[in-house]
Amino acid sequence: MSAIKRFLGQTAIYGLSTVISRLFNFILTPLFTKVYPSSVFGIFTTLYAYSSLINTILAFGMETTFFRYLNKHEDKKAEVYNNSFLCIAFLSILFLITGLVFTDAIAAYLSGDGAQLADYRNYVRFFVWLLFIDAICVIPFAKLRADNKAMRYSIIKFMNIGTFVGFNLFFIFVVPVIIRQQWPFADWFAGWYRGPWVGYAFIANLLASIFTFLLLIPELMKIRLKFDAELFRKMFGYSWPVLVANLSFIVNENLDKIALSRLLPDGIAEHEVGIYGAVCKIAIFMSIFITAFRMGAEPFFFSHAKHENARKTYAMILHYFVIALALLFVALVANIDLLKYFISRDKAHIGEYWVGLPAVPYLLFGYVCLGIYSNLSIWYRLSDQTKFGLYISVTGAVITIVLNFVLIPKYSYMGSAWVSMFTYFVMMVISYVLGQKYYPIPYHLKRIVAYLLVSVVLVVLSFWVFNRNIYIGNALVLAFMGGIIYFEKDQLRNILTRK
């Protein structure tokens, strides 16, 4: 099987697992809104926002470093695995101890007025253990990807989300029935069950992570407590810029929503943030595709680096990745009048959110640029110049901060959408220019730019000129697809027939 076909097959498996995981989350969301009061989502948002930041810090960029050094030092694969895991384990244990020691102080900070201090103590404990276990699993999961075990990786991910959903259903529906019907263990359940308590969702998440940890024991058993200090010094120099770049990316992704709530007048801030948050959901479809690509691409790029035609392969992958992004961009905008019904759980007032639809094309094109940047970033990872990833990401974070403060007071969430698009466009361009200087790859630049320009023109026609007419929009999608097939037919035939 050709390298391209293997890459596509693994990416498809990762994509399926990502899509199904997101679908399960979509299923749980309306369930949570029905069972829990609206104030609960403030707790969800706060705790999971902090979690995304802490997860990034605990991983310390070691996942990317693991892939790089696994293929750079093929004679030291065991040492690379040990070093990567032990680094994260050390940070995770330090975090666990600190979190448990300062639980009361953290809970007091999060609870604000202290009215729910006891509950927040429990939440903090749940999340400290949850984040610890998830961090411990990072490198074993990376090993599955590096070993081309995409199916086992996906099965474990399916079982994780299935366990999470199953325990949520158990706490929300099954336990009350057991108590009400006086089934076996009813008195025991009644002794501790609190009804619709959001803490059960966090317990379900923790139990799912524990189950995942158990499933990864075969990978964990391969770890040896042997630390190669000289190798780690090199790995550390590679990984810390990746860490800073990842943190900067989180700023780029989340600052706009925070800035909206801070920079707009109190009377409209909550309403505007609600609209922006709702329409951002349409961009999730693009995000899922990019995530699936990254899951398959990262280990493939590193493992393929020593092949004679590696750079041509990277160029081909970007070429067809851009085609897929451009086609998805046009298709999502063409069907936006269908997708708009899914942007809010509040069916009674869903129409109020539709005023924010003009922000969607800008958000989607921003994700297109982000996806291309993620692909282009392979140059500084393969050339061991991760400092450039740091520079690019920090540049993006500065642009995000400055322009949000300039544009939000005047243009509200539309300013945020423009900033998001512009930031990722700048990062993409900078990465391409630097990459061609330090690690040139023969990208098909003219054709890539042509496809992107055509997709932008078609989106403008579909959304603004033809006023989101779904029939004309999809006709433009079909025309675009036909043009792609016509211009790419020879190359596609070669890929499909290659063994």
- For the segment 39-57, what is each residue's pLDDT rounded down to a tens digit? 565 566 667 778 888 999 9
Indicate the range of 139-153, 296-310, 352-366 predicted with least confidence: 296-310
The verdict on residue 232 lying in a domain is no
Q: Are residues 211 and 272 in the same domain?
A: no
* The last residue of a domain, from among 227, 251, 267: 227
The verdict on residue 144 lying in a domain is yes
The tokens for 380 are 């500084």
Q: What is the mean pLDDT of residues 81-91?
A: 96
User: Is the model's pLDDT at 172 over the cut of 80?
Assistant: yes
Q: Are the C-beta atoms of 369 and 421 separated by less than 8 Å?
A: yes
The domain tally of the chain equals 2
Q: Are residues 97 and 211 in the same domain?
A: yes
Q: Are residues 287 and 220 in the same domain?
A: no
- For the segment 396-423, what is each residue's pLDDT rounded down to a tens digit? 989 999 999 999 999 999 999 999 999 9
* The last residue of a domain, from among 227, 258, 291: 227
The verdict on residue 78 lying in a domain is yes
The verdict on residue 233 lying in a domain is no
**Which phi-psi region, left, alpha or beta, contains residue 384 (left: φ > 0; alpha: ψ -120 to 50)?**
left
Q: Are residues 396 and 304 in the same domain?
A: yes
Q: Are residues 28 and 173 in the same domain?
A: yes
Question: What pLDDT does residue 9 have?
Answer: 76
The verdict on residue 290 lying in a domain is yes
The verdict on residue 34 lying in a domain is yes
Q: Are residues 347 and 486 in the same domain?
A: yes
Q: Are residues 265 and 219 in the same domain?
A: no
Q: Are residues 140 and 39 in the same domain?
A: yes
Q: Are residues 144 and 250 in the same domain?
A: no
The tokens for 241 are 């810029």
- Identify the band that residue 367 occupies on the pLDDT scale cut at 50, 70 and 90: very high
The verdict on residue 400 lying in a domain is yes
CA–CA gap between residue 432 and residue 439 (Å, rounded)? 10
Question: What pLDDT does residue 342 have?
Answer: 73
Q: What is the mean pLDDT of residues 94-119?
A: 87
Q: What is the mean pLDDT of residues 18-30?
A: 69
The verdict on residue 443 lying in a domain is yes
Indicate the range of 6-10, 277-281, 466-470 predicted with least confidence: 6-10
State the chain's mean pLDDT as an integer: 88
Q: Mean pLDDT highest for which of 5-14, 219-228, 266-275?
A: 219-228
Q: Are residues 216 and 259 in the same domain?
A: no
Question: Which residue segment(s) compose the domain that 184 sits in?
Answer: 1-227
Q: Are residues 184 and 252 in the same domain?
A: no
Q: Are the C-beta atoms of 208 and 160 separated by less than 8 Å?
A: yes
Q: Are residues 216 and 351 in the same domain?
A: no
* The last residue of a domain, from among 227, 261, 280: 227
